[in-house]
Structure 1
Amino acid sequence: MAPKEKCAKYQYVVTSSGPQIVPVPDQESKEEESPADYNAGGYLPIKINDSFKHARYTVVRKLGWGHFSTVWLVKDAHQRRHSALKVVKSAGRYSETARDEIKLLSQVAAANPLHPGRSHIVSFFDSFDHPAPNDLHVCIVFEPLGENLLALIERNKKKGVPPPFVKIISKQILLGLQYLHDECDLVHTDIKPENILISIPDIESHINTELSLSSSPTSRRRRIIGRERHVQIFDSQPLSSPSSRSGSISASASRHNLKMSVPSIISLGQSFTSCSANQPSEPLSPSILSSSSSLVSTPPTSVGLSSPSSSSPSTTPNANPTSTHLPITVKIADLGNATPSRKHYTEDIQTRQYRAPEAILGRKDWGTRVDIWSVACLIFELLTAEYLFDPHGQGELFTKDDDHMAQIMELMGDFPMEAKMDGKYSRELFDHSGSLRYIKTLKPWPLNRVMTEKYLFSSAESAELCAFLEPMLAVDQRDRKEARDVVGHPWLEVKDEEWVGLEDW
């Protein structure tokens, strides 16, 4: 007797050819890309063992996907190593964005290989155009990396990531941004957990081990609604971090190594000087700070940078000399939205929860400090597993922007009239007196009290954290610190006693 098939579910939808009854998509594949995007100008259909660039790259499995592209683990026959292949949608706007990203990646790679922040920024191995039957797809080849910080946050959402690990991560992000800002004159514009990826030591060995232990790639044939054809959509299998199965970051890192290595890396960049200065996603009342926040689940991508191997002169800090002893190493990914600090490609920047006040106001004079605001929000989220700001609109009463600005002012206080004005949306948010136009009653809750009252930090712990974060959260961008100003802050120094109880974490 044949096995009993699961009953199919159907739904009523309106398509370009009229109303239709169609199957409900499998719940298991709801986190993958939509079949509807496999159309003219959309994704390239890819299968395991497909090859690219004259058979140089062979597809091993799918790592993830995003609005603009799918990302695949491939084997490079020339270099005899694995890489991450990003295949961009073929529509002109996506191809143009990808070519801009390639130019920026080239600029970043060439700026200053000796800077300690360079090893914490994504770089690429190769790029090429892949011909399809009706169009071309821009392809970018990266070093494969592990999971992003969102996955780390979600694994630690009960208590947050332990502070010593947050400090190490924060230091590396700030070093990377110092490199982007000062050496490349670039603003990332979309710093968030999804765009910070964990580097895997001895990546090739890790991939080979994982491939030998993991199940074969799975896929489903999905019908494209309104069309008489199907597409094969593979399930994403992002590379696990070496520790993700156990819940720790580095099972092999001893407390002795941590104590020996952290002070060395903390000192990097303190005296270093320089000579220069995807479409964001949107996440009922004002004063949301006190409510619990939900985390956005975004599929991870895998891209990265190989550390420079050149030696450094005595006048320049060596790039991450102690990184092999650190329990975690991270890299800033996704430069697709990066822009020169003074010649902006767009004024519509940053994912909602990490958006700086000047971006909310629609000002055009923003620069590198918008990234610093985002980093502060990210650090808070690592420590608490909750958003610092998570605004919501309430019908016709007020918008997300109104609530966002209200939450900022409740946390950080009022700010000068001059900083409130001159933005595209300033008059919509503030009245002639500088008060919020639609939210009249604010409930001040300063960061120091938030940390002690809600998250039970001690007074000393809260004071030290606030001394670090508050200058990064200055509402008036003119008063906000740059990466170079805070990369050597005392809060980033990990004390011996902070490792107590974390030996098996």
Structure 2
Amino acid sequence: MSCSASSGSEEEDEGVDSYRKGGYHAVRVGDSFAGGRYIAQRKLGWGQFSTVWLAYDTQCSKYVALKIQKSAPQFAQAALHEIEVLSAIADRDPSNSKYVVRLINHFKHTGPNGQHLCMVLEFLGDSLLRLIRYNRYKGIDLNKVREICKCILIGLDYLHSELGIIHADLKPENILLFSTIDPSKDPIRSGLTPILERPEGNPNGGVTMSVIEKKLKRRARRAVARLSGTRASMGVVGGTPKSERCLDAIDVGCKLVDFGNACWADKQLAEEIQTRQYRAPEVILRSGYSSSVDMWSFACTAFELATGEMMFTPKSGQGFSEDEDHLALMMELLGKMPRKIAIGGAQSKDYFDRHGDLKRIRRLKYRPLDRLLVDKFKFSDTDAHEFAKFLCPLLDFSPEKRPTAQHCMQHPWLNIKNLNQNELKGESNVDKVDVGMSKLQINVGQ
């Protein structure tokens, strides 16, 4: 799995062990790349294959994301593949309007650990995973979810229809907002003066200091958490109730990033694709896949944005595997898998008997999606019904029956304007349904 264009991995630290021959390139603030064109400003993140830095492009006078791949041959090969995919994406979208990250440049950089392929990408903001966390896993207002979904669908339609590319790892972490949630983290909005040479007096160019500061901050946070442990356990942190944050000021325009696992629909590289929680059933069963795997992941992502929780979080248990639990969770939400599909994959015999029933998980607790949204996530009946009507076709066990991104963009749910939840506070559920219905009728009538 490679690293996002600018948010990088959501973990804190890649560790020093991988800074060796074949591994990461050690970067210091003020280091220059590509004959002095790009100057490293600060680290944005990292992935298994690369680190990502905010860099200043001295030729164009703008900030970019610089992705520096590990140097071992397998990582170089993966980078060449990603460059090929990103180049095709950029070539067919000269106006940069398709909601997919833009590759600006690529080059090789030689360092003490070997030769590293580098990609220069447009600088983007935080990932949707960060947005979900920022909102304290409360579920984002449905109007915002609609805006995000429209961006993702335009990007997927471009990849699938025009380029024949399957993203193969769509998830909130691999979708970046145009800008950062916190304006002070945005180099342009915060008025950051670019660093054009290595800071004097510190051979590590400020990196060591930032690591020490991070450790001290973490220690301070832990101390505060211990002191306020009792209040935190009551859902109060620092004296404030743990409610959802106001996202009104945040631009939720976003782009698809991280094409390290992408493939051409007619030239597939791997059998096992997609991050576990967003993996389609045909990938688990090894029954072959197409661009419709991205539509399954898209539905999982939309659900997570709207509820704050992942749709499927499988775990292995006594006598059954994570895969089998995943299939059971799917069926509990979507109904029994048709026998033909259940027994049709190369791995089907591991999980299903010849009747199409799971071998080791016999008792399933069925609860349809609209009921789950009402019972667990407190959606109004109208919101739950409309949202489930949008998601359920995307979660069809038959991959060929799932709507395409283009088809999905025509769905009425994307054009419903909901009243803000705050405006509905204090009303009974019946009132909410009535308001929702009248609002829906107004939109249909327009």
How many angstroms does 1:402 deviate by? 0.5
Counterpart residue number, 1:346: 270
Whose RCO is larger (CA < 8 A, sep 6+)? 1
| Residue 386 (structure 1) aligned to one of 309, 313, 319 | 309
Quote the Cα distance in structure 2 between the aligned partners of 1:158 and 1:108. Answer: 33
Q: TM-score, normalised by structure 1?
A: 0.70
In 1, are the aligned partners of 2:24 and 2:113 still within 8 Å (CA)?
A: no
How many angstroms does 1:422 deviate by? 3.4
In 2, are the aligned partners of 1:82 and 1:204 still within 8 Å (CA)?
A: no
Q: 1:382 is aligned with what amino acid?
A: L
Counterpart residue number, 2:221: none
Establish whether residue 368 from structure 1 lines up as the match of residue 291 from structure 2: yes
How many angstroms does 1:113 deviate by? 4.4
Alignment coverage as a number of residue pairs:
377
In the TM superposition, 1:410-425 aligns within 5 A as: 410-425=332-347
CA gap of 1:63–1:247, structure 2 versus 1, over 3 A, is: farther
Residue 12 of structure 2: SS of its match in structure 1? coil
Counterpart residue number, 1:7: none
Q: 2:306 is aligned with what amino acid?
A: L
Establish whether residue 163 from structure 1 lines up as the match of residue 142 from structure 2: yes
| Residue 207 (structure 1) aligned to one of 187, 190, 193 | 187
RMSD between superposed Cα atoms in Å: 3.0
Q: CA-to-partner distance for each residue in 1:18-39, whole Å, 9 max, x for gaps?
A: xxxxxxxxxxx98211111111
In 2, are the aligned partners of 1:157 and 1:384 still within 8 Å (CA)?
A: no
In the TM superposition, 1:52-451 aligns within 5 A as: 52-113=33-94, 118-133=97-112, 135-200=114-179, 206-210=186-190, 212=192, 219-220=207-208, 247-249=245-247, 251=249, 327-364=251-288, 366-395=289-318, 397-451=319-373
Residue 119 of structure 1: SS of its match in structure 2? coil
CA gap of 1:221–1:461, structure 2 versus 1, over 3 A, is: closer
Q: 2:365 is aligned with what amino acid?
A: K
CA gap of 1:118–1:421, structure 2 versus 1, over 3 A, is: farther
In 1, are the aligned partners of 2:98 and 2:158 still within 8 Å (CA)?
A: no
Quote the Cα distance in structure 2 between the aligned partners of 1:93 and 1:331. Answer: 27
Q: 2:52 is aligned with what amino acid?
A: V
Counterpart residue number, 1:42: 23
Residue 87 of structure 1: SS of its match in structure 2? strand
Gapped runs of 5+ residues in structure 2?
A: 1-9, 200-204, 216-243, 425-446
How many angstroms does 1:142 deviate by? 0.7
Q: CA-to-partner distance for each residue in 1:72-91, whole Å, 9 max, x for gaps?
A: 11111111111110000001
Q: 2:100 is aligned with what amino acid?
A: I
In 1, are the aligned partners of 2:164 and 2:265 still within 8 Å (CA)?
A: yes
Identity rate of aligned residues, in percent?
39
In 1, are the aligned partners of 2:68 and 2:118 still within 8 Å (CA)?
A: yes
Q: More helix per residue: 1 or 2?
A: 2
Gapped runs of 5+ residues in structure 1?
A: 1-28, 223-231, 237-245, 254-326
Quote the Cα distance in structure 1 between the aligned partners of 2:186 and 2:320. Answer: 50
Counterpart residue number, 1:306: none
Q: TM-score, normalised by structure 2?
A: 0.78
Q: 1:157 is aligned with what amino acid?
A: R
Counterpart residue number, 2:377: 455
CA gap of 1:234–1:489, structure 2 versus 1, over 3 A, is: farther
How many angstroms does 1:133 deviate by? 3.2
Quote the Cα distance in structure 2 between the aligned partners of 1:235 and 1:100. Answer: 35
Residue 130 of structure 2: SS of its match in structure 1? helix
Quote the Cα distance in structure 2 between the aligned partners of 1:343 and 1:197. Answer: 27
Q: 1:32 is aligned with what amino acid?
A: D
Quote the Cα distance in structure 1 between the aligned partners of 2:83 and 2:137. Answer: 39
Q: 1:136 is aligned with what amino acid?
A: Q
Q: 2:101 is aligned with what amino acid?
A: V
Q: 2:341 is aligned with what amino acid?
A: A
